[in-house]
Amino acid sequence: MPQSIKKNAEERMEKAILALKRDLSTLRAGRATPSLLDRIQVEYYGAPTPINQLANITTPDSRTLMIQPWDKSSLADIERAIMKSDLGLTPQNDGAMIRLSIPALTEERRIELVKFTKKFGEEAKVAIRNIRRDANDDIKKLEKSDISEDESRRHQDDIQKSTDKFVAEVDKVLAAKEKEIMEV
């Protein structure tokens, strides 16, 4: 039973790392990538819809994104959603598709993005610590009936080791993204 608790906690911690990587991929580091638009929701027939479900997104070069909607009537909605987003990009609508030019990042914007990545990192660390707390609570419940106090302590130590490993992984992911952002 304690083994399944530890295994479940590690799986959830791994998912927190994957969520962090997905969130960091939506930050622009000076080059165009379709994942920049993953967080954008378009109001389409009254329902918020991810932009990648409404259009084909391509990167003709390293500084340009082209968005070609499957339904031409959604073009204005997509443009409006991009304008409202926190990307800081101005869409260029030519009636059939939208072009997004990704400008080179200034030093000031790079520093701002690094702070933003650290916020994502802190959220991931909090999620991992919450998972640790939940697992420890489950172990303590078992201590009252099924396992000894020493066994409980040993399992909690194992959970702490997993937590430390995943927090170090968060730091490694953040360092790689920071390096990518600060690269000129």
pLDDT in tens, the chain (184 residues): 778 888 999 999 999 999 998 888 777 666 777 877 888 888 888 888 888 888 888 888 878 889 899 888 888 888 888 888 877 778 888 888 888 888 777 788 788 888 888 998 999 999 999 999 999 998 888 888 888 888 888 988 999 999 999 999 999 999 988 888 887 6
Longest CA span, the chain: 70
With contact defined as beta carbons under 8 Å apart, do 145 and 77 qualify?
A: no
Task: Tell the residue number behind the tokens 């997104």, with chain if given.
Answer: 57
Cα(91)–Cα(65) distance, rounded to whole angstroms?
A: 10
Which pLDDT belongs to residue 146? Answer: 81
User: What tokens were used for 55?
Assistant: 């259009």
Which pLDDT belongs to residue 16? Answer: 93
Which pLDDT belongs to residue 28? Answer: 63
- Measured from the Cβ of residue 82, the count of other Cβ atoms closer than 10 Å reads 21
Task: Tell the residue number behind the tokens 């791994």, with chain if given.
Answer: 14
Q: Give the number of C-alpha atoms closer than 13 A to the C-alpha of residue 104, restricted to the C-beta side.
A: 4
Cα(21)–Cα(150) distance, rounded to whole angstroms?
A: 37
Task: Tell the residue number behind the tokens 């304690």, with chain if given.
Answer: 2
Which pLDDT belongs to residue 180? Answer: 82
Cα(119)–Cα(96) distance, rounded to whole angstroms?
A: 37
* Residue 93 burial by Cβ neighbours in a 10 Å radius (0-12, 13-18, 19+): middle
Task: Tell the residue number behind the tokens 């490993």, with chain if given.
Answer: 165
- Quote the Cα angle for 132-133-138, to 5°: 100
